[in-house]
Amino acid sequence: MICKLSDKQLVAGIKIKVKEEKQIIIEVLNYLEEIDKRKLFVDYGAPSLFKFCTRILKYSDAEAAIRVKTTRAIKATPIIKEKIKDGSLSLTTAASLYAFFKNNRIQNKSKLVEHVCGRSSKEVKNIFHSLSKNPPPRMFYITLPEHLLKKLEKVGQDFDDCSELEVIECLLDKYIEQRELAKAKKTSTKQSKSQRYITREVKESVDLRAQNRCEGFSPITGKRCTSRVNLQYDHLRPISLGGDSSTENIRKLCFGCNQKAAVKAIGTEKMMQRGSATLSPDVEYYLEQTDTGLQYSFIPPGK
């Protein structure tokens, strides 16, 4: 059908389609924003919105990164959404604004958004450079020799579908954790009085149970979270509710599951206000034995 259109009709037609395309992009970003707010990606076995975009929505890494950064940029500076909608701001520039705002303290963000609208990526880069007070992020490339690559491959088998970079991060996390443990051991006598303090023995038992993998479960797939990055010890029953620091009450959760548990417990609005994962004292929860081990769930009040 397109081949039968006149030149004028063809150009008029594509203008309409581009307008529709912009509208669809805005709708996609709205959906991502809500999924992020509810931390829904955790229920689908994804430790982050980025992983949700690549694993579930099948975006490429680059496509996912741009959409996630743009979603976050809109959250911080809503005018960005208007500019994408009217076609004056590309997703690439919106995503780079997110990174720039994160690293630089800008008084009038809206003014800068207006300023970069309609400019090429090179022009935007120059503007950022002239305004930047911070040095560019440290990035360096390393070439791994064959024998190190083989070791990485060998260790990587224990890390499911993690990338090489994630495996390296996990290993470094583990080293830092061990170093912290050694430090904590020195001061354990002083700290053991605190109920919140988790002893080395408890951490070791939890580590043994968790096998360096998040202990969160998806209520949708019933599957255990696959994340092995940024694992934190979490009190299942909060100390304020009479919980203790025993092996049974301590679980290892990734950042995403930790956030998700808090969202379930106190709701998205409160989470947005607090900006951190804390539990309200009126939360009910249960603990049950399943085929895959101990499963913990939070039940929001009144449900």
Contacts of 22 (CB under 8 A, 6+ apart): 84, 85, 86, 87
- Name which of residues 238 to 257 contact Zn ion (CB under 5 A): 254, 257
Q: Is residue 216 at the binding interface for Zn ion, with CB under 5 A as the rule?
A: yes
C-beta closer to Zn ion: residue 93 or 234: 234
Phi, psi of 128 (to 5 degrees): -60, -40
Q: Is residue 231 at the binding interface for Zn ion, with CB under 5 A as the rule?
A: no
Q: Is residue 265 at the binding interface for Zn ion, with CB under 5 A as the rule?
A: no
Decide if 83 contacts 117 (C-beta within 8 A). yes
C-beta closer to Zn ion: residue 83 or 252: 252
Measured between alpha carbons, how far is 153 from 74 in angstroms, rounded to an integer?
39
Which of 225, 250, 261, 283 is close enough to bind Zn ion by CB under 5 A?
Answer: 225
Which of 214, 263, 265, 279 is close enough to bind Zn ion by CB under 5 A?
Answer: 214
Residue 268 CB, shortest distance to Zn ion, in Å, is: 18
The continuous run of DSSP H or E covering 195 comes out as none
C-beta closer to Zn ion: residue 51 or 83: 51
Measured between alpha carbons, how far is 228 from 160 in angstroms, rounded to an integer?
9
Measured between alpha carbons, how far is 300 from 283 in angstroms, rounded to an integer?
6
Residue 132 CB, shortest distance to Zn ion, in Å, is: 35
Contacts of 182 (CB under 8 A, 6+ apart): none
C-beta closer to Zn ion: residue 44 or 197: 44
Decide if 34 contacts 20 (C-beta within 8 A). no
Q: Longest Cα pair distance anywhere in the chain, in angstroms?
A: 84
The continuous run of DSSP H or E covering 89 comes out as none
Q: Which segment (104-112, 165-173, 202-210, 224-232) binds Zn ion by CB under 5 A?
A: 224-232
How distant, in Å, are the alpha carbons of 6, 91, 141, 247 from that of 199? 77, 47, 39, 9
Q: Which segment (84-92, 169-177, 184-192, 210-218) binds Zn ion by CB under 5 A?
A: 210-218
Residue 174 CB, shortest distance to Zn ion, in Å, is: 17
C-beta closer to Zn ion: residue 74 or 225: 225
| Total residues interacting with Zn ion, rule: CB under 5 A | 6
Q: Where along the sequence are the contacts to Zn ion (CB under 5 A)?
A: 214, 216, 225, 227, 254, 257
